[in-house]
Structure 1
């Protein structure tokens, strides 16, 4: 009964939420209009101020009534047009006063550079190669459906509907670009843009040359050509690139090669001077301040808000017979890896732990059905570092309503600060890596100490995070959404970051301070022990 009532009230909730957000933007515009009036000396009188206050009150109540009617009936109306008509009717009595031009995108305009196709579209066309150890098919297969990959047709009821895809974790550049094309505040006028997006497919451009004894110029020259093109545009000179941002589909350190030796891993892209002035959003940040992290793409890309709510409700009802689980493979070549210890402990606790062995030839862990089935059956999901600090599995865990267990603060807490709750104890468990090297320490003894009430509270917080860690279908109607998705939160974060440095320039400060320095304590937190 409660669930049915929720579904009935969902459209009203969605509508009211979106309209409230627009009202906040409008209120800022009205205040700006009033300040513009106050600059005209002939209206600085008590009667004018009273009339303005009266206008605001009247418009506010008319809007509330009109919004409620619209949400209940499902009809649409233009808030901007309605408010303009009232405000400009008031201001129209005096030709000396500039009329209000309400802009719901004030401070949110983004301009997309129209790059030559060799920097993005042609890169995708030349993607007929495989990524060792991560997928069994050429990358081109995963570039379809706006970068989400092939649609999963039969999930044996593990997944919910047709919004699930075999998404490759390295296609974030394509995914983000396609989402940006439908962003509600795009502008063709770069002079009013708060940020400049550079849709360069950096990861895909260098990926064919990461494995093998290739000349360094093959890894570096495409990025140098891109930076030369961008730096020659008039938009560059406004903030010398500090209002520019791009996406990195691999971990940021893959673009910070520090050794100039033939065959050395990675690109030097982020060390080039122009790149130093650009912010990069990637699946894992580096210690440098201009490298920031946004979530790995999972396989769930809903086209409607109701799909998200229904999935959240399903994860709340999910039966979870296992105390904890782990999906992954050991790292025998990494002496400091704790994965083998976790695998041994899981196998020794087979009644309470479920293991998904991801060694090559054992289980295809690229198949989201296998991973999601495991995590849906578990209360806690172990997320140790692998080849790097982070892993996509952490977001699959959250998507499954499974409480993640981290062993390094740089695996999530100090990475995805725009997308995850600041108080990590609300949605996860932290076990220091050093504990695993103590012979008597057992993970299951730590996890079993949590009460049912504590587990329920953490799971609810995990499920609450789901909307913000998924990338929605680009065709999703953006007007009716309860919470922003991973793309929306990333855009909000980058706009706030750029505005911070723009404010520094206005105040006469040096915008380079704090922008791109290396911060060796970036992934450490004195409060996490």
Structure 2
């Protein structure tokens, strides 16, 4: 929950030392000062003030240099106290029934588990034991709450909607969806989503009508499939939020987009367990995973999935990994398992050169982001596990940070995973790992209470890309008018 009231940020687009100083020359032309000593003093003082302003601007408003190319990503230790590269955004003042009010019944937010421990600490969950830094047992479907909390304190936030480029609707849609999966009445299951869009488009219609919702965005912690129930299709508990016409005009951020129909959907990282408050914590972790000894060629953390065609490849993965002396297999299932221990999972990945990422209940996996956090090169078997999902976050050159093996060739036993990975040269593995390690900052959700983390995290990246998208829409509309 949010236990703090954010203090207003300074006006956006304003810089210290930019106010016009009164001229040392009097406005009264009949009273010129000709004293040489006073003139020198005035000149010296002006130069001193100018130099001070330049130093303040340099130290306070410098940002980390983060460059993503097909070859590398680097993060330089600096500070990020200003709004850089993103337009100002306004947070809709939604009634609590759409977000924080849902947490009052946290034990009922998920039909499979009690979410109360997971919504603690602004969505980070419970702190992990024996951890000196900011490590938490973060739930994989809680990104919407973490993003809300991060944006509350973000330097690009404005309290004046007239100044906003973006409008954020802080709806905890994923938490609500998982609480009504088993609701047989579709009207009741869809009620809060319909109520939300009525509030935004009618009660707040001034801001909606400005661009028809093209400058609005939602962030959802569950996959798009949970919000796209189709008429006549299989009913697995989804609602219709993303099918509503007004939502089609907005940008929707989700941990898994629908690859074929998600024209307005953009993939965002699943939250992992590390939520640093400073760039020093991030650099320390990167240095650690960069220098680890990795005795396993590859590993797989997961289980088989019965009846799921897209997960069929898992059967062969479990078989091949179990038969190899160079693979570490951690099988997941019901009951007690290493899979439920974050440090156990990361521990295996930190000892592996490659981490297998097979589709499961859906195309994507939180494990992909766990492996990158561990400095382990991901191996994909479907393009929809990452390549069609996270274009805002991952390099265009897929081979620079990952290995792709067609799932069909693995499922029929045509390709041996160990042989493919063993043929990657030591030098190439080293280059790929460096790219992976340097991707960690932008795939990490920094601690919500941090006001100056010193690097661009997952939230900073989404704001930059949304700003670019909306500015492009504005330019296109102006060109159409001309």
**Coarse TM-score class (shorter-chain normalised):** 0.7 to 0.9
Supply the distance in 1 between the matched residues of 2:93 and 2:140 (Cα, whole angstroms): 25
The secondary structure found in structure 1 opposite 2:122 is coil
Tell whether 2:436 aligns with 1:450. no
Deviation at residue 367 of structure 1 after TM alignment: 2.1
Cα separation, partners in 2 of 1:499 and 1:352, compared to 1, 3 Å: same
State whether structure 2 residue 459 is matched by structure 1 residue 487: yes
| Secondary structure in structure 2 of the residue aligned to 1:323 | strand
Q: 1:42 maps to which residue?
A: none
Aligned residue in 2 for 1:293: 267
Deviation track 1:483-528 (CA, whole Å, cap 9, x = no partner) reads: 3111110111111111111222212269xxxxxxxxxxxxxxxxxx
Question: How far apart, in 2, do the equivalents of 1:371 and 1:414 lie?
Answer: 25
Instruction: Indicate which of 222, 245, 254 corresponds to 1:250.
Output: 222
Residue 432 (str. 1) matches residue 402 (str. 2): no
Q: Deviation digits for residues 155-174 of structure 1, max 9, x if unmatched? A: 6xxxxx33100100111111
Q: For 1:451-483, what per-residue CA distance to the aligned partner results, in whole angstroms no more than 9, with x for missing partners?
A: 1111111111100101110000122232x61x3
Unaligned runs of 5+ in 1: 1-24, 34-57, 80-102, 156-160, 511-529
- Residues 185/314 of structure 1: CA separation in 2 closer, same or farther (3 Å cut): same
Pair 1:498 & 2:470 matched = yes
Q: Which one of the candidate residues 95, 99, 103 is aligned to 1:124?
A: 103
Q: Give the structure 2 partner of residue 519 of structure 1.
A: none
Q: Relative contact order: is structure 1 or structure 2 higher (C-alpha 8 Å, sep ≥ 6)? A: 2
1:299, 1:183 → 2: CA distance?
21
Q: Which residue does the alignment assign to 1:220?
A: 190
Residue 214 of structure 1 contacts residue 262 of structure 1 at CA under 8 Å; is this kept in 2? no
Please give the alpha-carbon distance, in whole angstroms, between the structure 2 residues aligned to 1:405 and 1:171: 25
Query: Is 1:341 matched up with 2:316?
Result: yes
Asked if 2 retains the 8 angstrom alpha-carbon contact of 1:216 and 1:260, the reply is: no
SS in 2 for 1:265: coil
What are the Cα deviations for residues 268-318 of structure 1, in whole angstroms up to 9, with x where unaligned?
111111111111101011132111111000010001110000000000111
Kindly indicate whether residue 117 of structure 2 is the aligned counterpart of residue 141 of structure 1: yes
Deviates more, 1:435-444 or 1:446-455: 435-444
For the Cα contact (< 8 Å) 1:384–1:408, is it kept in 2? yes
Pairwise mapping of residues 160-179 of structure 1 onto structure 2 (< 5 A)? Answer: 161-179=132-150
Report the equivalent of 1:471. Answer: 445
Q: Post-superposition shift, 1:440?
A: 4.2
Evaluate the alpha carbon distance shift between residue 506 and residue 369 of structure 1 in structure 2; reply closer, same or farther with a 3 A threshold.
Answer: same
- Pairs within 5 Å for 1:230-245: 230-232=200-202, 233=204, 234-245=206-217
- Which sits farther off after the overlay, 427-436 or 500-509? 500-509
Could you tell me how far 1:206 is from its partner in structure 2? 2.0
Deviation, structure 1 residue 216: 0.5
Q: What is the RMSD of the two structures over their aligned residues, measured on CA atoms?
A: 2.8
Question: Does residue 113 in structure 1 map to residue 92 in structure 2?
Answer: yes
2 CA distance for matches of 1:130 and 1:242? 30
The number of residues matched between the two structures is 418
CA contact (8 A) 1:383 1:394 kept: yes
